[in-house]
Structure 1
């Protein structure tokens, strides 16, 4: 009897580990790394190129540190663009960047993150073309006109391919989401985390600029449908200048369960959610419950098999 209990406890422990492993494997399937839209050191291969990204203009690749879009010099522009469009319906892009220079009073102009139908077209909007189609997020460090907010400043614009960026007023007429953020010259790694959910039609930007692993909401956009878009980073300087560096980009494709895909969407008007006010919460625990039931069923099956095996061995031992 002692042998049966001991063997049963050992089998139970193995079953628990197996069930835990099942849950971890299911959770691991919730997202897939997108190598085609990720880049990190050393950035280039033996042919001095990158398989998935192009860079140009005044950009300089330091294989040990960063991709410097502009140096701390006047009249520069640089860019980094994915070679393939990002067509996943739900994704998250985490990027580490650094902005700084010798200037203590006047500096600029800033850099931008792009998800647009076009790529690699130099222009006046933080080094990219005007009248773009898609999403532009501007990390602006220089005020062209008097504003009610302080700088540095982060703002989003949804381009329709026809509307120009309101450069004279720092994009005030184009702004659909924004926040003040002191991201320049920080002593910790500064990062952005951009999340797009096509089912919920939302775009969220979080920033890490104060402390390590402290993410602050910058803005959430509602009723947004992004096109299959190229991922880009551009920067420019004028009479005022800064270094604008991209250190790493990591993109993941978020896989949703059938329950989440078929969940009823909220039919709301974007005008009712001005000033970044979120819509009613729609979180559901069904996905986790499904995983728990699945793991529990596997666990129960393993325990039964272990018990029968132990009983059979014990009966044979008696004879």
Structure 2
């Protein structure tokens, strides 16, 4: 109270100011917490150390090709040797309508020349070896390619990450690094041999959007590679990871996989990228937060008025005492 008197402000003004600050803080907290996307872990499509059970098997995944599992470190899809190919495929299909898959991986080796790369798959087929980064061509579903060797694609910096939607008929365009049927992609200079944990995060909302984010520059700093609207993937598809080395080679390591089932508590579906979040915020503001938020605003209004009235009474009594 001593500070209030020395500042020259009336008690009424301070009462109104404090009430206004409190009101502003509550409004801000409501906006910052407007994240309506919830998640449920999908154990059937996640992988973590030691990867295998006591019988040296995995309950949820199959391994094949040249894949080597080192329980305390990684699943090595290919070693740094020529003509290697390896794969990991889920045993159960991914049937979630909306999902997010985040995985940590590492592409590295000793040579100055290296290749070819690795891929993530969400396809109707599973565990079929082939020429597309270790998996079969003419796939049906999504192929996501981390290509480290440039064949013939002028003006593009490698490593290059690209996505392709296969319909069972289209072939991957090896000659031009997938350009012919590319859905979206981005250059990721520094992804190979990065000195921080390299991660990718793929988010899918059915018939709405598909988005890929990468972490390879700084820890906890995600870079959006692409975000594509109106994407439809098979409702029943398997999750796979493959890698391939030809005349050139590299280590392609899978460190961990974390899969989640996503759902929104907001009837307004999220859109891709930042725009989706903005739309959710606008929808929330239009709804006004319901009766609970209306009641809170009324309480704050009463508190503000009460603070102002008490301050006015105190000021009036002070002026009356000063007359005598």
Same fold per superposition (TM over 0.5): yes
What TM-score do the two structures reach when normalised by structure 1?
0.75
Q: How does 1:145-184 map to 2 (within 5 A)?
A: 145-182=152-189, 183-184=191-192
Distance 1:138 1:39, change over 3 A: same
Measured in 2, the distance between the counterparts of 1:292 and 1:58 equals 60
Change (3 A) 1:154 1:286: same
Query: What are structure 1's unaligned runs of at least 5 residues?
Result: 1-25, 267-275, 301-319
Give the TM-score, by structure 2 length: 0.74
Compute the displacement of 1:260 (Å): 3.1
Q: Which residue of 1 aligns with 2:82?
A: 74
- Contact 1:220–1:278 (8 Å) recurs in 2: no
Alignment equivalent of 1:61, drawn from 69, 80, 90: 69
Q: For the Cα contact (< 8 Å) 2:120–2:239, is it kept in 1?
A: yes
Match of 2:279 among 258, 275, 282: 282
Q: Is the 8 A contact 2:36 2:265 kept in 1?
A: no
2:142, 2:90 → 1: CA distance? 15
SS at 2:292 equivalent:
helix
State the distance in 1 between where 2:174 and 2:275 align.
29
- Alignment partners' CA distance in 2, 1:292 and 1:122: 58
Distance 1:33 1:197, change over 3 A: same
Q: Is the 8 A contact 2:268 2:280 kept in 1?
A: no
Q: 1:161-186: per-residue Cα shift (whole Å, max 9, x none)? A: 00100111111101110100021001
Q: C-alpha deviations, 1:196-232, integer Å up to 9, x for none?
A: 0115x21000000000000000011221111121111
- Give the Å deviation of 1:289: 6.8
Maintained 8 Å contact 1:66/1:246: yes
Which aligned runs of 4 or more in structure 1 are off by greater than 3 angstroms? Answer: 26-29, 276-281, 287-294
Structure 1 contact 83–230 (Cα < 8 Å) conserved? yes
2:45/2:258 contact within 8 Å kept: yes
Q: Give the Å deviation of 1:28.
A: 10
What is the aligned length? Answer: 259
Task: Measure how far apart 1:147 and its partner are.
Answer: 2.2
Note closer, same or farther for the CA distance 1:109–1:289 as it changes in structure 2 (3 Å cut).
farther
Please report how far the alpha carbon of residue 282 of structure 1 lies from its aligned counterpart in structure 2 after TM superposition: 2.7
Residue of structure 2 aligned with 1:115, choices 111, 119, 122: 122
Q: Which has the larger radius of gyration?
A: 2
Aligned CA RMSD, in angstroms, stands at: 2.9
CA 1:291–1:215 in structure 2 vs 1: closer, same or farther (change >3 Å)? Answer: farther
Partner of 2:20: none
- Among 247, 251, 254, the residue aligned to 1:243: 251
